[in-house]
Amino acid sequence: MQFHPACQEGDRNHLTQRRLNQRLATAQRLLETGSCSIGRIAEMAGFGSTVSLRQHFTRAFSISPASYRRQFRKKPAALAAW
């Protein structure tokens, strides 16, 4: 059984977006909890480069990874855990 090409493309787009969301969530967690460099976080989260992480992260969250890390670290511990 074969699917219509448009359905296959939609499935691919869905899987690609899901994979990107997982990578972004990993990057977020590492930025919040880790002390690794942004480059190492990009690598660990599955992005090909720091530039790729920055572009996708900024597009998704309207803030750069470095700024996100700085803002997250400024929060008091009680608020960060909340």
| Nearest-angstrom CA–CA distance, 56 and 65 | 10
pLDDT tens profile 48-80: 999 999 999 999 999 999 999 999 887 665 555
The pLDDT-based confidence of 9 (bands split at 50, 70, 90) is low
Domain containing 45: what range? 37-82
Instruction: Report the number of distinct structural domains present in the chain.
Output: 1
Q: Note the pLDDT of residue 17.
A: 94
Averaged confidence pLDDT in the chain: 86
Question: Is 75 a member of any domain?
Answer: yes
In the predicted structure, residue 11 carries a pLDDT above the cut 80: no
Q: Do residues 43 and 21 make contact, with C-beta atoms less than 8 angstroms apart?
A: no
Q: Note the pLDDT of residue 14.
A: 85
Question: Is 43 a member of any domain?
Answer: yes
Q: Note the pLDDT of residue 2.
A: 55
